[in-house]
Amino acid sequence: MVSKRERATKIVATLGPASSSPEMIKALYEAGVDVFRLNFSHGTQENHGRVLGAVRALEKEVGRPIGVLADLQGPKLRLGRFVDGFINLTAGTTIRFDTDTAPGDEKRVPIPHPEILEALHEGSTVLLDDGKVRVRVVKKGNGYIEAEVIAGNKLSNNKGFNVPDVLLPVSALTDKDRSDLFFALDLGVEWIALSFVQRPEDVIEAKELIQGRAQVNLKLEKPQAVEHLTRLTELSDSIMVARGDLGVELSLPEIPALQKRVIRESRRLGKPVIVATQMLESMISAPVPTRAEVSDVATAVYDGADAVMLSAESAAGQYPVEAVAMMDQIIKQVERDPGYRAIIESQRPDAGHSVADAVTQAAYQAALSIDAAAIVTYTLSGTTTLHAARERPRIPIVGIASQLSTARRLVMSYGVHVVHAPEEIHTFGEMATKATQVTVEHGFAKEGDKIAITAGVPFATPGTTNVLRLVTVDKSIATRKPRPEDKTDTLRPRAAAKSAGGAAVRSMPVADKAD
């Protein structure tokens, strides 16, 4: 029987030095990873290409779609160097920042970004080394600023800096990002994650370059992006709550409420949302997490996130497999909590007004009424399945995708067990027969169980969710042993299966209505 996850919330894990071998990638997958992240802030393109090759080989071995997210570095701003490699700053003192490339000292700091100096103004706050050092601009001149040290500390070479209250005149895509972007697209990744997005134009620019070859994941890291949250969510295909950089540029007490707001908005618009950064941070060097970290992961699950993510824990930590297994256990425990379902239901967004929204909501209500074993969605682009995931149903979603790229993308979505089935569907009978075969073979249904099926007519037309059908699994399918030609998840080309014309399915009287 094809393996399936016993949870609805998905796991994203970053691959790196601790987890780049084929053996470790397989171990992570078996521990619970659904989507692998390639972090282009580290490593070389050659290394990332080799790692992705191992993921694709694993995908063929296990016969299940696996998603890959390529995370671009973005315009990471960094200081220059110091004569002694570091300086010590004391609160209350004044220091100069300028574009001179000569090494700095206690009196001046080199900042090789003249456009940033130009954008700053008196009163601007500059955060250095992830906020460990905080200064405020008190004077601005030609090619320099003078700033008062508000919070002092040791400051080393090439540390990053953030400017939280200024819209920076830089694109979200650097020259390095463009090179990495086209490399990742040529590799065939499913998701491109954009870093340090500030405005809708940043996403539009990226999508023009991507040209539909992958979907866009917006990393929410800048306060300016929060101001455009709804528009950015509409433009993007998924959202990542990247709490590390958000926690530098926003006050830390604001982050929990913002996390909930982003999850609600993403769910309202039917876009997958990932909660990321420092979720099990202590497991970089310890075999077990802290109680607070366990609660943090649990909170994201209670909030209704599609996925939770591991960064350094799986990329460079000493216990990558244990971290994934722990996250898997936390999710399962939360989703078994009797109070979890009540929370998820209470957060359901208002009903949409499209035909697809109406059909999807009717499918869920009908599935509950008949105690269905699964909701089956047929999809070409993924839209039909995303509508179902938006409802956060207590019933499993079996997403049947005719395109492998769509199947890999849907792995990220809440509650979706994705099946890649490239056979063309031409009739309702074929649709119902295929749906029952898949749900039986993948362990979601047995003889006598009912399933709810949603699809779009005409078939193989993106964005036309307009059909609901309820069927009962008949003995001829439930007791039949799978045949080689029936396998639906080998990820290899195969001839179209012969239709049983619906003979093996007892349809229940539900109207099928097309636009």
Cβ density class 262-285: b for 16+ within 10 Å, e for less: bbebbbbbbbbbbbbbbbbbbbbe
Place of tokens 């993308």: 409
* CA-based nearest residue to 410, from 395, 420, 423: 420
> Quick check: is 390 catalytic?
no
Active-site residue (options: 37, 260, 390, 392):
37
Sequence letter at residue 264: R
Active-site residue (options: 219, 390, 392, 450):
219
Sequence letter at residue 327: M
Q: How many CA atoms lie within 13 A of 391 on its CB side?
A: 25
Active-site residue (options: 4, 60, 78, 154):
78
- Specify the DSSP element, H or E, that contains 27: helix 22-31
> Quick check: is 37 catalytic?
yes
Cα–Cα dist 305/294, whole Å: 15
Cα–Cα dist 153/151, whole Å: 7
> Quick check: is 219 catalytic?
yes
> Quick check: is 267 catalytic?
no
Active-site residue (options: 233, 277, 360, 439):
277
The number of beta carbons lying within 10 Å of the beta carbon of residue 470 is: 20
Give all strands (DSSP E) within 20-153, no chain letters: 35-39, 67-71, 86-88, 94-98, 108-110, 125-128, 133-141, 144-151
Q: Is 406 exposed, middle or buried (0-12, 13-18, 19+ CB in 10 A)?
A: buried
Catalytic positions, written as ranges: 37, 78, 219, 277
